[in-house]
Structure 1
């Protein structure tokens, strides 16, 4: 019952803490918007004043939430547990006091000084802070004097909270340590909230943890079970919607391919004036003097030239291998790392190419079963449970740009690749698009095969949602490149 004394002071702190937490966040967001004008670089102690408001908004919200939770929580605390709560209260008071000191480096400390707000500590370029703020973001306050009055009022509330919370912290530390000191040395210390006897010499830490768990058990149960079920259900619904969207996209792609094939077949039937085809022996003699990429470039330059070289029906079986053998004279023959065309040291080029996001998904994303995903990522106290709401990652896979030009600009990693002349002449955006077109079918093919869970090593269901975890940042990867649902 020792902590009952601090409950009285905590009750008195509710109103000023509510003012600090509600008004502080909005005031800082509006004040921070003036940073673009450069006003904080010219007024005296402008940056310190802005940093003080930032601390004020952050610690004000934390102090209000802490005070609300511990108003009844500290009622039954005593001994070292009460001293620990007092240390946290003192930390809040010290942080808010630093915020108040930094604010006082610029704003007036009395309401009377606000009458001269239009001439208060003007900047080196002659601008006045309150006039600048009133003309941009604070036009609802009713003038520079009213704005100054509101800031001084907020600062005064901060000072009052510092005093009250400083007293609360000192009382809790003094009562907690006093209760522990008054106990007989070497005698057992009984912890009512934990339910059994613990020796002060080595067991008070367990009693302290038990008391905290006793206070937080209802909240932890709510966070662990209903909240985890809601998180899992929300992600399951998203997967189901992505599945339907993916089915529609695949049907549209198949329809487009059929229409394109029918168009090409119609053009082939209409074109009756076929040019003469070059004999294969002459074509092989020509290939000895050129590179394989030159032959491919010639076929893409003109339809008639392609028909002269290879005919309307294309190459006969084995002729393509002969062209590869006779072209690119030499033994060192490789292939382009983007399009796969044969190259040699004379016709290849090494260029730094931006890495493909799809290839990064292939390397870094791992499949999880539904059970492991629920236990590891949906529960609040799981290792990665608190990261599910936001993709707190440095891999930037969630923020993958769908616009190729923007994606190339945002790319930070590059790889040196051996390319043919055609791919080397492309722009960075065109190469990125070609890499995506090559990697996406491979990613889709691999991920639709039977897979095992990366955590429990059990085989995943052939029908059901697929959960993908980024192995670099240990968060769920919601990219559209991964199939949301397993299909037989």
Structure 2
């Protein structure tokens, strides 16, 4: 019941706000006519009485005063009249009702002295309408003659007719707005009265409780007002100005996100150092083991390379696990990195070499080396496959083009405006946060996990033994690192100009829709270091 009542008075107030918005322009026109007419009459005493009816001047005075008040009141009360709940909203209804009464009075004064149709002003109509006995000119002719601006009796008569018509419309609209406010207040008071009897409380106590909570509503309105007014003002600015402001804001957001990522990496490195105290990431041979004939045979480098040329990379790695002596012969501690590079060069077939999707093993096109597995395209892997980094100039050319068609118009200085639309191609996450669960419910996210497409992935022989779930879990940690740090080859160069990315913000753009991806799984800020050493990129290449 309470929900129905609340929905009822909310609908009435929303309808009143819509009507109030609809009469902004008519009120402005009415106020303009009333001010012009009253200024002419006020400056010329012969138009205020004597030959002409004094009710004309009285009506124009009321119209000028209350038309101006109604115009400013409509702007000031538009949002508050919608958000302030009854019974406090009755204040707006009373003022609206008073405005409707005074504009009706002004219109009533004009009814007997103004034609009701513009066609009565044409020809001699402006001269003959309400012409006083013994007078040479009508009120409209006298007003046109005494007007400070050049005009004629027809246009003066026409302006009075239009003011009279607008007065009727505005008085009707304001009466309806006041009626909606009164009905909303009456309904909530009636409901409160019934609730008071049901709760063994007096109507006065319930109303007092409502007034005590009034500051909360006022505070919420003030916060909303202070937030939305700048937003509305910003939306009215030229697109060129808004584009620059939005780009600066995005720069600031990425800078803050980059600082957060840097702190997170430093904490992770410190934690890893504490947990692995005394250990090193570099391979060291602790024991050489017992010498074997195979170890001695493979210790000859040329012989080892001849053997490797007939093996797959996974076989070479497994060969180093036969014994300690064989491992030292195949992968000596002082040449570990160099040997791994050579093995990738000589092992497997020359064509079709690539990295296993899950681990670091190299695979080739051989059916004994590469295995295809259809795995779910979850959120992380979608970003890994479809999002590419751009430098700032290429980002401006790709995303900062036309706000209506960013992918079809050529990038020029005239259409380099920021497209505020963002990429929404990625599937929903399987682990929503509290806010996401509150807005969409947990069932929304869980149900969409069953609709994810399956993408074929190439894995090595070692990884092929795992289940689909196991493969996705093993790949997740590496995927997060690659997304944050650009660990893949595609994350080191700009997709647009193919130049090495320098230090600065990383602009990630979806390959499909050509819009910016703002997911926090991507690294927001990059350093100027690359695998080849310290590379500092300046000028337009710097991001």
TM range (shorter): 0.3 to 0.5
Report the TM-score when normalising by structure 2. Answer: 0.38
Report the TM-score when normalising by structure 1. Answer: 0.41
